């Protein structure tokens, strides 16, 4: 399990992350999103349509235990985190779309996550012992909205302070994952060694399959390659630390460790798999840019 001190520290770190996310936004960003909402709407469809269904399908196909199932479904229902913005930037994606998707999905999560978690937990036939109360999820999300709004206010009052907080929040997203790995993994190395391959497949597959499905859905809905790659990353990269925080604040019984297993494994492996995907996407974007430059050069010569 995660200790009480670690839970409190994780909560503080999450507030700093949400403060940074808020500092990355202005009210103008929301106006732009409402005027041209298609990209964000496609992203929300992937986030709250594809991912929870994928989590449920993996749990059923792999015949996971109730504790692992609720952990996987919770992980699949999470909105994206600031980590996805970092990977979108390095992959030469559409950073503005990535940030807007993260923020809008986080705000929408207040309603969607409790509903989806309850729906898929019931569909999986989980008993009340293994269900995370919707009210607990909503309370955690409401609390985390406060620093998000505060970050937006600070950005409005002083853009320089806002930019600093934005960088701090993005950096903290990586720190939290390292923190989880550094504190939880050493204490549970025996558990990890005894963990069956279906659990690892679920933890790794949720992110990778989610990215593939997110890209396919975006292309199907006529988003260009660059926006589709951005949506793919946003779809597959969930807010792992938020899932861990919800579990630690909602479950204090002996099943906590079992429920935590997939969110912690996901948080570890999503950094590795996203790095590989980001390198691939970056090379893809570079080839497209070079092809466009050659076409322009050819048109000038022909003219």
The answer for residues whose C-beta is within 8 angstroms of residue 240's C-beta and 6 or more apart is 75, 78, 81, 177, 180, 263, 264, 266, 267, 270
The widest CA-to-CA distance across the chain, in whole angstroms, is: 74
- Which CATH number characterizes residue 231's domain? 1.20.1530.20
Q: What is the mean pLDDT of the chain?
A: 84
Give the tens place of pLDDT for each residue, 226-246: 999 999 999 999 988 888 888
Helices 51-61, 95-123: crossing angle, 10 deg rounding: 40
Residue 128: band (very low, low, confident or very high) from pLDDT cuts 50, 70, 90: confident
β-pair partners for 238: 80
- Local structure of 187: helix, strand or coil: helix
Residue 47: band (very low, low, confident or very high) from pLDDT cuts 50, 70, 90: very high
Start-to-end CA distance of the chain, whole Å, equals: 69
Q: What is the pTM of this model?
A: 0.86
**16 pLDDT higher than 80:** no
**130 pLDDT higher than 60:** yes
Handedness of CA 31, 35, 40, 45 (dihedral sign): positive
Long-range contacts for 35-40 (Cβ within 8 Å, ≥24 apart)? 38/221, 38/223, 39/94, 39/97, 39/100, 39/101, 39/223, 39/227, 39/231, 40/97, 40/100, 40/101, 40/104
Segments forming the whole domain that contains residue 197: 4-302
> Between residues 97 and 204, which one has the greater pLDDT?
204
> Between residues 222 and 83, which one has the greater pLDDT?
222
Average pLDDT for 100-111: 85
- Domain count of the fold of the chain: 1
| Cβ-based burial of 12 (10 A; exposed 0-12, middle 13-18, buried ≥19) | exposed
Query: Tokens in use for 236?
Result: 């597959």
What CA–CA distance (Å, rounded) separates 13 from 33? 28
Lowest model confidence (mean pLDDT) among 57-66, 108-117, 181-190, 238-247? 181-190
């Amino acid at each position: 399990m995660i200790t009480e001190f670690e839970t409190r520290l994780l909560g503080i770190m999450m507030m700093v992350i949400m403060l940074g996310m808020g500092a990355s936004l202005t009210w103008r960003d929301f106006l732009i999103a409402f005027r041209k909402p298609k990209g964000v709407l496609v992203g929300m469809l992937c986030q709250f349509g594809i991912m929870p269904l994928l989590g449920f399908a993996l749990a059923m196909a792999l015949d996971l235990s109730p504790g692992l199932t609720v952990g996987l479904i919770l992980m699949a229902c999470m909105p994206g985190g600031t980590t996805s913005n970092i990977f979108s930037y390095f992959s030469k994606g559409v950073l503005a779309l990535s940030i807007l998707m993260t923020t809008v999905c986080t705000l929408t999560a207040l309603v969607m996550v409790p509903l989806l978690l309850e729906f898929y937990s019931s569909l999986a036939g989980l008993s009340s012992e293994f269900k995370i109360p919707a009210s607990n999820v909503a309370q955690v999300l409401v609390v985390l909205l406060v620093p998000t709004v505060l970050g937006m206010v600070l950005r409005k009052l002083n853009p320089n302070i806002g930019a600093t907080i934005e960088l701090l929040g993005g950096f903290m997203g990586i720190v939290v994952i390292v923190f989880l790995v550094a504190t939880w993994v050493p204490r549970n190395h025996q558990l990890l060694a005894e963990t069956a391959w279906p659990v690892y497949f679920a933890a790794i597959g949720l992110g990778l399959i989610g990215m593939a499905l997110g890209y396919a859905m975006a292309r199907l809905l006529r988003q260009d390659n660059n926006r589709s790659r951005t949506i793919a990353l946003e779809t597959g990269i969930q807010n792992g630390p938020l899932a861990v925080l919800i579990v630690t604040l909602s479950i204090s019984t002996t099943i906590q460790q079992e429920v935590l297993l997939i969110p912690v494994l996901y948080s570890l492996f999503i950094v590795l798999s996203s790095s590989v995907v980001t390198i691939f996407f970056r090379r893809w974007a570079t080839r497209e840019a070079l092809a466009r430059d050659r076409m322009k050069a050819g048109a000038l010569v022909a003219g």
